[in-house]
Structure formats: structure tokens, C-alpha cells
Structure 1
Amino acid sequence: MKRLLLLWDIDGTLIDGGHVCAALYPLAFERLTGRPALHRVAVAGRTEPDIMAELFARNGVSGVEPALVTEELTVQLGRLAAEFRAAGRVLPGVVETLRALGAQREVAQSVLTGNVRANAALKLGLFGLTEFLDLSVGAYGDDADERAALVPVARRRAAAAYGHDFDAAATVLIGDTPRDVQAGRVGGARVVAVASGASSAAELREAGADTVLADLRDTAAVIRAVRSPRPAARGPG
């Protein structure tokens, strides 16, 4: 019986995609609008539909059908797949940690990611990580624009799959940005933050992560972090 639900962020937590991820959105914008995006937007910790919505707004575009956006994002990543695989890497300690946690019968591992579902599956497959994760109970960028809204989605899917509810104490989000931390806190999950992306450990603590790790190299430390109960009292940061 699965009693602990781990929801992994992908980009910056499990995988470093190099420059390719940021290039995806201007390419999709140009294909959908017929012109280049003159103004770029921040992408870290956001859902892909949210990134594209701001990209459209900042460049004076409206009325693009969401389904077409999702389809184009999927097409563009497929075209970039070989480049993404060549430029990217699995971050240190990831495989060892996923394998160790996957060996524990009471633990279910999935993803909570801003990637649309097809892109999440492609990225994980390119780097051989799919075998460790139950993607059927994950939550994706095409499930909700706001990242915090994805936590209840994953919890509902896991409850249906495993036959019991996962409350906030039994749900752990692992990510690398303050937006990941906020998603966990608002959505109802404990948060283990990893300073493996662009955000520092201090920034992740300030955002309110329950635990902050430098990286995932120490498998035992990761296991302790995901199993540690949320502190009874916390300050505002």
C-alpha cells in the first residue's frame, strides 16, 4: 500500500536541459503567430501554458486556442529532442535517489511539473527516468495554468490509483525554485527544495521550504528529508 506520495519537478531538479528548454517557447510562438517574439519572459518554475500566455500578452497577441498551444509545444520539443538529449544531463544523485525510493513499497513517485504531459514524458524518456515514476498520477502544465493548482490534481489521481487519500503530511513536492515551494505550501504538500537550479539555498529557505538540500548526491539525506514530518512551528520564511 502506497502511503507517501513524492511529486518531483523535472527541469532543474531531475534534469538540466541546458539552453534548449528556453528556446522552445519563442519557437512555438513564431510557429503559432507567424512572427518572432520580440519580448521574452521568465520561465523558471512556471507552467508552459502560463509561459506562453505571458509571451503572447507581452508581444500583443490574443485569442490563441490553448489546445493549439499545447500541440505546438509538443511538436517543437519533438523536433528539438536530439538537441535536448545532447545538451542536457541527469543531475547528480538523481538515478540513485529515484531507485532507492522506488524500492520502498510504501512510496509512490510521480511528477508535478509545468511541462505539458507529452513533453514531460518525452524528457523523462530521453534520459531513462520513466521507469522510476508513475506518470499516470502526476500533474502537468496542461492540467492547470497555476502550479499550486497541480498539487490537488496529483493527490486526486493518486487517491484513485492507490485507494486512499494522501493528505498534506503524506504528500511531498521536490523542486528547485521558489515557485515550486509556493506550489507546495499553497497546494497542500510538504516541500523539499533542492538548490540545483538557478535559485540559491537561501532563496529557497526564504520561500518557505520545509527542507533545503544542496543537491541529490546524498541519497540517505534525501530519504530523511522526504520522510521528516513538517516542523510543528515555523517562522514566516
Structure 2
Amino acid sequence: MAFTTSSAPTVGFDLDMTLIDSRPGIHACYTALAERTGVHIDADLAVTRLGPPLEEELAHWFPAERIAEIADLYRAMYPAIAVAATPALPGAREAVAAVRASGGRAIVVTAKYEPNAKLHLAHLGIEPDAVIGDLWAEQKAQALREHGAHVYVGDHLGDIRGARAADAYSLAVATGPYAAGELRAAGADAVLADLTEFPRWLAAYRAEPAAPAAPDARDA
């Protein structure tokens, strides 16, 4: 795979566990959903499996014929329960701002329901140029290609697959369920400990004739 450095790159970011720590809000929403439906949901376990679409998690707790109904209910409950409870991860605002300050475009490509993704970003004052939701793993390549993304930043193995499918540079952050070594083994081109390291990485990316190696996060 060949990477071409751009003086004004388009950078895609994942949302959950890349820009935001969505565990508190999602935990609260699953707890409320269990109370509402009378169905046991282990919210502690569910928040260790963030990344894939909501329907995949609901399938652990509800029969197949109820998944669509329960997903709609969860998404309707989500804004009032999860948004205010969810903080930005360290460096998230600064990372998006760094891309835009460089003259590039920052987009968010996420598996999360798009209206709720936009609510999170607005609440936290994170201002990307575009938000595209409801895409997971290789599906993310659709939006990355459409927007001409040079780089995709994410915490999940599915994010690496999405970047690869889009022929984009895969920059991983070890802020989600995978340690740095696992992200590297899965094919990430570089790994950061978190987004506080991103502005320095971006400056190097813009300066070099080919995308540079980033300082690898410590294995955890």
C-alpha cells in the first residue's frame, strides 16, 4: 500500500473510544434499557465490547425477532441518558482542531447511529467537517473513499480493516479494548498511546515525503 503525504490531509476519526469515552453513557443506557424491558443485560460486560454495531450486542440479550424493535428503543432513550454522561478522551478536541488548522478536513466515521454521534460531538464542542454514522469495519471505507481520506484513526481492529479497505493510512490509538501490540499485529501502520500525541504525528506526516512512523504506545 502506497501512502502519499498531503500538506492538507483529510483525516477520518472513529468516535467511541477514539474521540469519546462512551462507556459511562452506554453503561447507563443499557442499565435503563434492562429496567425498561425487564430483560437482564450485563452492562459491565457490554461496555468491554464497544465498536461493532448496536444490533450485535443486543443479540446477546434479546431474541432475533426483537432486535430491530429494541435497537429503536435504545436509540430513542440514548440522548437523554448517554450524551451528558460521556466525556471526550484526552486530546480529542485538539486532534480534530489540528487537522482543520493545517488546512485539512477532519471527518468522523462511526458505527454509532449518526444523529446520536452528532449529539455527542456538539455537546463536547468537537467540530469535524462531516459526520458519517452507521458504518462498521470495511463499510467505513465507503465514507473514507467518498471524502478522500488519507488517514483513518481508530481504536478497534475493525477500524484498521476499514482503513485498509479504503487504502488509507491506519493510525491506531490504544485507548479502546486492544493493547498497542495487538493493534500493530492487526496491521495498523502506527500506534499512538492516545490522541494527545496526534498533533505531533500530524506535523511529521505533513513534513515527510512519506507517512512517518509514530512513536508506538506501550503494550498494556
Q: Does 1:117 align with 2:127?
A: no
In structure 2, do the counterparts of structure 1 residues 3 and 223 end up closer, same or farther at CA, with 3 Å as the change threshold? Answer: closer
Aligned partners of 2:12 and 2:204: how far apart in 1?
Answer: 13
> Which residue, 151, 154, 160 being the options, matches 1:172?
151
Amino acid aligned to 2:79: G
In structure 2, do the counterparts of structure 1 residues 38 and 73 end up closer, same or farther at CA, with 3 Å as the change threshold? Answer: closer
**What's the % identity of the aligned pairs?**
27
> Which residue, 63, 66, 77 being the options, matches 2:65?
63
- 1:187 Cα deviation after fit: 4.3
Aligned partners of 2:132 and 2:74: how far apart in 1?
Answer: 17
> Which residue, 21, 38, 44 being the options, matches 2:50?
44
**Matched position secondary structure for 1:89:** coil
Please provide the CA RMSD for this pair: 2.9
> Which residue, 88, 96, 99 being the options, matches 1:98?
96
1:147 corresponds to which residue? 137
In structure 2, do the counterparts of structure 1 residues 218 and 154 end up closer, same or farther at CA, with 3 Å as the change threshold? Answer: closer
Amino acid aligned to 1:72: L
How does the TM-score come out when normalised to structure 2?
0.76
- 1:224 Cα deviation after fit: 4.2
Aligned partners of 1:70 and 1:36: how far apart in 2?
Answer: 14
Amino acid aligned to 1:204: L
1:5 corresponds to which residue? 10
- 1:4 Cα deviation after fit: 3.0
Contact 1:210 1:230 in 2 (8 A): no
- 1:47 Cα deviation after fit: 2.0
How does the TM-score come out when normalised to structure 1?
0.71
Amino acid aligned to 1:62: A
Contact 2:11 2:107 in 1 (8 A): yes
Aligned partners of 2:89 and 2:201: how far apart in 1?
Answer: 14
Contact 2:155 2:172 in 1 (8 A): yes
**Matched position secondary structure for 1:24:** helix
- 1:29 Cα deviation after fit: 6.6
Amino acid aligned to 2:56: D
1:79 corresponds to which residue? 80
Q: Deviations over 1:161-212 (max 9, x none)?
A: xxxxx2xxx4311011222212222343221001122321111111110110
In structure 2, do the counterparts of structure 1 residues 23 and 4 end up closer, same or farther at CA, with 3 Å as the change threshold? Answer: same
| Residue ranges of structure 1 left out of the alignment (5+ in a row) | 159-165, 232-237
Tell me the number of residue pairs that the alignment of Structure 1 and Structure 2 aligns. 201
In structure 2, do the counterparts of structure 1 residues 218 and 76 end up closer, same or farther at CA, with 3 Å as the change threshold? Answer: same
> Which residue, 157, 176, 194 being the options, matches 1:215?
194
Q: Deviations over 1:75-115 (max 9, x none)?
A: 2212204xx52x4322222222221211222x211111121
Amino acid aligned to 1:80: I
| Residue ranges of structure 2 left out of the alignment (5+ in a row) | 1-6, 213-220
